[in-house]
Structure 1
């Protein structure tokens, strides 16, 4: 049963950003800029070890250089969507970036019960990223 937005989100909360710890902020920035094609934006006057990127919907990813990283698990991942999943897969192949389906089969997609196709790959620090062809 659907609940009205006013009842389920009385404060009008929207996603602003995700922050992740990275070993080398420049290497990670290169990945998020060149591979994912995200726009780098000013980091609000913070030190150089923090870099900000923005998705088309204005949600941000903050990269924070750190000496310690959390343990990685495919079940804990960032999920992005695109209408160009096939083109993205071709691009990842051309850059020799490994991607797989949920069960770990290299170079393959899987289809969720709702018909959405998805792939998974990792950034330079091992964070899992899902990209799917679903629409919001």
Structure 2
């Protein structure tokens, strides 16, 4: 039986921008990295447990463009945050655009929005309640 979620993986394009985004902007704690021979694994601890695994391949891999309505693929990763408006400002000031603007979603009782990380992976940030 399942005990817990261990990790979520994102294939990365820009190592420096990605490490800056997850480490400096979002404030996730870096964990030890692992060289697997043909790719390099970088990890960040997720506050609720588990890890974010970032894969840097040493060879060219094709770009996969995922649309919001594609079936059978990962659409986005969602993070609950302490202050959605402060994070919205921090990300916007850093040049990130919320393609789904931060707003209150009455049916789910949270305020949230969606943006993309430096690799084009969609991320949702939300805070429960109306903010």
CA RMSD of aligned residues (A): 2.2
Distance across 2 between alignment mates of 1:114 and 1:124: 28
CA distance in 2, matches of 1:116, 1:124: 25
Matched, 1:46 2:35: yes
Aligned ranges 1:95-114 → 2 under 5 Å: 95-101=94-100, 107-114=101-108
Q: Which has the larger radius of gyration?
A: 1
Task: Give 1:89 shift.
Answer: 0.8
| Structure in which a larger fraction of residues adopt strand | 2
Partner residue of 2:128 out of 124, 129, 134: 134
TM (normalized to structure 2)? 0.78
Residue 14 of structure 1: how far off its partner (Å)? 1.1
Where do 5+ consecutive residues of structure 2 fail to align? 70-74
* TM-score using structure 1 length: 0.75
